Amino acid sequence: MVDWNQSQLAKAAKVSRQTLARIEDGDNATVETVKKVIAALEKRGLEFIEATETRGAGVRFIDPNNRRKDDADQKG
């Protein structure tokens, strides 16, 4: 969705490419590492959507430059 390879995501998230490869293989990751990866992807324009009672969790692409301030404030 963001047109990045493993090396590009690793650099943006400030984690090693090997760490990303291990995560993709199903290995565990620290909460800190996951937060770094999520932050890098959000900065690139992905929005992670929490599950509700009627819909599952998901992800969608947004324009990070046009995000409303109140949207950004809700992210914490």
For 17-52, how does the pLDDT look when each residue is reduced to its tens digit (9 = 90+)?
999 999 999 999 999 999 999 999 999 989 999 999
In a domain, 13, yes or no: yes
| Residues spanned by the domain of 47 | 6-75
Q: Residue 70's pLDDT is what? A: 47
What does the pLDDT look like over 6-18, one tens digit per residue? 999 999 999 999 9
In a domain, 61, yes or no: yes
pTM listed for this prediction: 0.74
If residue 9 lies in a helix (H) or strand (E), which one and from where to where?
Answer: helix 6-13
In a domain, 68, yes or no: yes
Q: Residue 75's pLDDT is what? A: 52
SS3 at position 14 = coil
Q: Where are the beta strands (DSSP E) in 1-76?
A: 46-49, 58-61
In a domain, 1, yes or no: no
In a domain, 30, yes or no: yes
Q: What is the mean pLDDT of residues 51-70?
A: 80
Specify the CATH number for the domain of residue 19. 1.10.260.40
Pairing verdict, β 58-61 and 46-49 = antiparallel
Q: Residue 2's pLDDT is what? A: 82
